[in-house]
Structure 1
Amino acid sequence: MGTVSKLKLTAAAMALIVGALPAVAQTTLRMANWMPPAHHMQATLAQWIDGIRAATGGSVEIDLMSAPLAPPPGQYDLVRNGIVDIAYGIAAFTPNQFHLFRALEMPFLADEAQAASAGLMDWYTAHDFAAQEFEGTHLIAAFTHAPFLVHSREPVTSLADFDGLKIRAGGVGIDIFNALGAAPVFLAPGDTTEALQRGTVDATQFTWESLPAYRLYDLVPNHLVFPDGGLYGTAFWVAMSDTAWNSLTDEQRAAIDGYRIEGSRLIGARWDDVEGEARATAEANGDSIVVLSDADTAALRERIAFVEDGWIDATGENGASLLGDLRATIDTYR
């Protein structure tokens, strides 16, 4: 028998074997994506998708889109309206909807993104808050980054230096920097580089990892670090549309729910990794890195206590207890 005939026979035999195996029903879901190509979230989300695939035994595949369908504030509408199956976004862009979820944005809450991410997902799930705030979707992960610091053209080393400072900010940061006498400017993260180049702002609230992601090293060589849990972090959600969720089998849904805390922690841990790498680059560049003094940190706590007080008041009589529970839950993942 010739080689070609042998290959044909082998292929036919393999086809019979594969055909005899039990079929695995595979579902492919489309996931919206809006981070820039150089941002670590491209690789981080790919790792998270690998985790979903493994948890579901290969029966759920997620196609991460390469181009954004909407700007960051429009991501929740994309998934709620079923334009995509999965999306991720920043809770602060729809502040009235995600009040409880944004408990993570309290100042001085956590130094580590992995602990804060897992803690938020655990706490939020334990209290079944998603039923109140994620109507029309199903929450499948929650995460944050390491806490914000301030990057600036000229040195900002004390609270006094914030007076009149034009600083790019968002979310809770707008209120915080207003309280410090600065002149905060709300900008989406992707607009920050151009704003610094044009002089629209002279500083920005960002994490370390944002420096390479948005090519900022040459623009802001001065960095102010806030100790004791940091200034605050951003609460990110990952949600699936109800239509997509209801199309899955019971086993697939259980597997994805079972992966929520682990997957959230994975994303947060990756943020921690790149945070250290980006700071090391700034140090190698000879940048100025200053840690806010103990005296100014104590004064800062007093001046921005209204952030936590406001969240507690808006939550109701159990607000302080819930926030204490969140802190305790985060501590279990440190």
Structure 2
Amino acid sequence: MNIIKTIACTCALLFSTVAYSQTTLRVATWLPATSSQNDVVWPTWAKWVEEATEGRVKIELEYGSGHPKTMFGLVEDGVADVSFSVNGYLPGRFKLPAVVEIPGGVADPEALSVAIWRVYKQHFEQAHEFDGLKVLGKFVHGPGQLFTTFEVNDLSDLQNRKIRTGGGVVNELAKRLDVVPVFAPVTKVYEMMQQGVIDGVFLPAQELKYSRLSEVVTDVTLFPSGMYTTVFTIFMNPEVFEDLSEADQQAIMSVSGEKLSALAGRAWGASDAKGLDEAREMGVRIKQLTENDPLTLQFAERIKGMNEAWIESVADRPVDAAAALKDLHRIAEAYLAENAQ
């Protein structure tokens, strides 16, 4: 009898030790379950993390966490362990990664996501813009395009129109296009367009499906290289990270960084085709511009000088901004060429 009790106690102790060694990271998300971030990126990363840590670390999604601009604070304060958000929602704090948002050049989101991660590690990390956060990855969505409730045949058609913008370089673009910017999270766009609060929006094509915008827009204008993109950061509470064993820290970073950035860029970019298919089914007019289309040429004129404007805007940061910009384009072009083979 004593032997049985001893074995039972030993088994219970072993079980409690195993249970104690397991950690669940709470991931705050502000997008719906159908979004590519929640449907593809987080589940894939969760699988990678669990495999890399041999089951010691698990991921749990927490939906409806609030406005995306609050995600940085939620993680810094320990309310959530991990999240992601748009850098541009906190203007002035994260200025350097906006380099990847400038229109022109490579538009492939996977290539740009890899490029901005490498440029961050090489050029921007030393500027300490992300102090208070453990940066796990960076990525961009597919090329931002123009969705409107009216047909656009000339950029002058946009003058004084109310267009939703979300922060970052797109706000500078709005000025150059003479639109009236209306600031709001993407989760509010459907309602605002339905009620006539705004006349259009700059967003990637995926939102035609995932935010159901194909129900409230009449026209989609697709620029060959897009109009802009938006940079996101995936981050973790540094204290929670440090509380993990060194082995688990290394395991998590082995499936984060460039690997996670590429995954997110690839997933978000792949969703654009689904958005356009949805718009076609809903009878939305889709205008695919060519490189020589008058609208494309007009747009190219409007964005001249944006590289120089970004370099000037980060003059207070201890980085070689011109070198970072050059490296970003070089890395993106090389990555695209390598993966096209």
TM-score of the two chains, using structure 1 as the length reference: 0.87
Q: Is the 8 A contact 1:157 1:224 kept in 2?
A: no
Q: Is the 8 A contact 2:31 2:63 kept in 1?
A: no
5+ residue gaps in structure 2? 1-6, 337-341
- How many angstroms does 1:281 deviate by? 2.4
- Matched with 2:242 is 246
Asked if residue 186 in structure 1 is aligned to residue 183 in structure 2, the reply is yes
Asked if residue 139 in structure 1 is aligned to residue 135 in structure 2, the reply is yes
Distance 1:207 1:303 in 2: 20
In structure 2, what residue type is equivalent to 1:196? M
- How many angstroms does 1:131 deviate by? 5.9
Distance 1:32 1:110 in 2: 31
Within-5 A mapping of 1:91-110: 91-110=87-106
- How many angstroms does 1:202 deviate by? 1.3
Change (3 A) 1:302 1:161: same
- Matched with 2:326 is 324
- Matched with 1:52 is 49
Change (3 A) 1:100 1:128: closer
- How many angstroms does 1:80 deviate by? 1.2
Q: Secondary structure at the residue paired with 2:335?
A: coil
- How many angstroms does 1:130 deviate by? 6.3
Asked if residue 215 in structure 1 is aligned to residue 212 in structure 2, the reply is yes
- How many angstroms does 1:82 deviate by? 1.6
The one-character-per-residue Cα deviations of 1:7-58 (angstroms, maximum 9, x if unpaired) are xxxxx99x97xx69x9593221111111123323221222222222223332
In structure 1, what residue type is equivalent to 2:163? I
- Matched with 1:72 is 68
- Identical aligned residues as a percent: 27
In structure 1, what residue type is equivalent to 2:43? A
Asked if residue 176 in structure 1 is aligned to residue 173 in structure 2, the reply is yes
Distance 2:298 2:213 in 1: 29
Q: Secondary structure at the residue paired with 1:184?
A: strand
- How many angstroms does 1:149 deviate by? 0.4
Q: Secondary structure at the residue paired with 1:129?
A: helix
Q: Is the 8 A contact 1:130 1:139 kept in 2?
A: no
- How many angstroms does 1:205 deviate by? 0.9
- Matched with 1:9 is none
- Matched with 2:276 is 279
Asked if residue 88 in structure 1 is aligned to residue 84 in structure 2, the reply is yes
Asked if residue 148 in structure 1 is aligned to residue 117 in structure 2, the reply is no
Q: Secondary structure at the residue paired with 2:250?
A: helix
Asked if residue 33 in structure 1 is aligned to residue 29 in structure 2, the reply is yes
- Matched with 1:7 is none
- 1:62 pairs with 53, 56, 59, which one? 59
- 2:229 pairs with 214, 227, 233, which one? 233
The one-character-per-residue Cα deviations of 1:220-269 (angstroms, maximum 9, x if unpaired) are 13111111x32111111111111111101112222222221111111111
Q: Which moved more, 1:113-122 or 1:142-151?
A: 113-122
Q: Is the 8 A contact 1:86 1:239 kept in 2?
A: yes
The one-character-per-residue Cα deviations of 1:116-174 (angstroms, maximum 9, x if unpaired) are 11221122123351661111111001111101101111111321211122211122222
5+ residue gaps in structure 1? 1-11
Asked if residue 123 in structure 1 is aligned to residue 122 in structure 2, the reply is no
Change (3 A) 1:182 1:323: same
Q: Secondary structure at the residue paired with 1:332?
A: helix
Q: How many residues align?
A: 319
Within-5 A mapping of 1:297-308: 297-308=296-307
Asked if residue 162 in structure 1 is aligned to residue 158 in structure 2, the reply is yes
Q: Is the 8 A contact 1:169 1:204 kept in 2?
A: yes
In structure 2, what residue type is equivalent to 1:330? A
- Matched with 2:262 is 265
Q: Is the 8 A contact 1:110 1:147 kept in 2?
A: no
Q: Is the 8 A contact 1:141 1:264 kept in 2?
A: yes
Q: Secondary structure at the residue paired with 1:252?
A: helix
Q: Is the 8 A contact 1:109 1:232 kept in 2?
A: no
Change (3 A) 1:130 1:81: farther
Q: Secondary structure at the residue paired with 1:133?
A: coil
